[in-house]
Chain A
Amino acid sequence: MMRINIKEVKTTQNAVILHFSGELNSDSISEISDSFNKLESFNRNFAIADMTEVSLISSAALGELMGARKRLVEKGGDLVLAGLKIEIRTKLNLMGATKIFRIFSDNRSALNAYKWQIERNPEMVHVTFPPYLEIVPPLRQLISRIAKFKGYSNKDSFRIETIVDEVCNNAVEHGKQGNDQKVDLKMNIDPKKIELDVINMSDPDKMDSLKALLKPREGGQEVQSDNKRGRGLALIKMLTDELTVDCSEKGTSVHIKKVREE
């Protein structure tokens, strides 16, 4: 015998969890159909089918789920499967259904995917690190990998890696040094853009060099071959869509917006 419990997810605009239990076979089809019809009354079109307590999905029941998915997709939603037992997942794989349904290990993963893809909620990474150059390479690679994992292209991820590297190097080199000091990096990432905020404490002895760095150069972006340093900010400007630098005796904060290009 099969049972279905429908649960709205209050923290979302549009998602609902259908908790299935028992065997989904030809006897269950009308109940499955009724459940998806009820979603319309909730005005929700993103459904997560929680299969944690399901012991069988017959081909007839699978066909009904595919039809329900098709109708939700036509309305801009989706039906995804979560918590499938390994043997059922293997069977769905053999039937080619895993190419149609997106499958998640649990409801939480499915909800995160929904919030990311449908509601386009940004996700945040917050890192605080001591002002040492050696920290920057693993940090820039971490941010780049997060961007890649979130679907940004190799090229965009590389550009983001470069931006993080240059901004953090500047924060370390021109900020206050010492074990008790810190650099703060916050990244907000959504499917369309990445925003970065990097904050460090100012070193009064380095204020002049920092102001010189921020002063617009005469002659535009022309580079000189005899200078080993001082091109980082120009590179950041060219790679970003928005750059704001706020520099005072207390601290320096840099805000960057990078729109996804590919």
Chain B
Amino acid sequence: MESQIDLVYEDIRGKANAKLIRFIGDLDATNVETVLEKVCSLLNEGINNLVADFQKLRYVNSTGLGILLHFSKSAKEKGGSFKIANINENVYEIIEIIGATSLLEIYDELDEAIAALD
């Protein structure tokens, strides 16, 4: 059985080809493929401006971090971006230890991340 993770999508008012994705639960080796499939299908539909709200993302491991880096790279290649906001301290520490803070677009607040969309 996979770890519990829910992705809740919301439109972002006034922003074309954009979605807010709220990550709720744990992102780990048991559910990365499911999450990868869901987010990549958005990118393939042309929704390439993504804002991830991590307020309720309790846990991420190295495999989960790997797909976050993949989303960021794929979104950029398609002319968009993958921005992250509201990261809890523990999750941020994992990203920091891996040395990925400079590879990901990280914002303190959701509003800031949305405002930074092109």
Say which residue of B28, B36, B69, B89 sits within 8 Å of A225 (CB atoms).
B69
- Asked if residues A155 and B1 are in contact (CB atoms below 8 Å), the reply is no
- Asked if residues A229 and B63 are in contact (CB atoms below 8 Å), the reply is yes
Say which residue of B26, B32, B94 sits within 8 Å of A137 (CB atoms).
B26
Q: Mark A125-141, 1 if CB is under 8 A from B, else 0.
A: 00000000110110000
Given contacts A165-B61, A166-B62, A229-B63, whether A234 and B30 have CB atoms under 8 Å apart is no
Given contacts A137-B3, A231-B62, whether A165 and B97 have CB atoms under 8 Å apart is no
Contact surface of B with A, Cβ cutoff 8 Å: 1-3, 26, 28-30, 32, 36, 59, 61-63, 65-67, 69-70, 72-73, 89-90, 93-94, 97-100, 103
Interface size on A, residues (CB 8 A): 29
B10 to chain A, nearest CB (A): 26
A256 to chain B, nearest CB (A): 15
**Residues of chain B within 8 A of A228, CB atoms compared:** 32, 36, 63, 66-67, 69-70
A221 on interface, CB distance cutoff 8 Å: yes
- Asked if residues B59 and A229 are in contact (CB atoms below 8 Å), the reply is no
Closest to A239 in B: B97
Q: Measured between alpha carbons, how far is A225 from B66 in the docked complex, in Å?
A: 8
6 contacts between A and B (CB under 8 A): A221-B99, A222-B99, A225-B69, A225-B72, A226-B73, A228-B66
A227 on interface, CB distance cutoff 8 Å: yes
- Asked if residues B99 and A225 are in contact (CB atoms below 8 Å), the reply is no
- Asked if residues B103 and A162 are in contact (CB atoms below 8 Å), the reply is no
B12 to chain A, nearest CB (A): 24
Q: Measured between alpha carbons, how far is A158 from B73 in the docked complex, in Å?
A: 28
Within 8 A of B (CB), among A229-255: 229-232, 234-235, 238-239
Chain A interface, >50% SS class: helix
- Asked if residues A137 and B30 are in contact (CB atoms below 8 Å), the reply is yes
Q: Mark A206-233, 1 if CB is under 8 A from B, else 0.
A: 0000000000000001110111111110
- Asked if residues B98 and A231 are in contact (CB atoms below 8 Å), the reply is yes
Q: Measured between alpha carbons, how far is A238 from B93 in the docked complex, in Å?
A: 11
Q: Measured between alpha carbons, how far is A238 from B96 in the docked complex, in Å?
A: 11
Q: Measured between alpha carbons, how far is A173 from B28 in the docked complex, in Å?
A: 14
Q: Measured between alpha carbons, how far is A154 from B91 in the docked complex, in Å?
A: 12
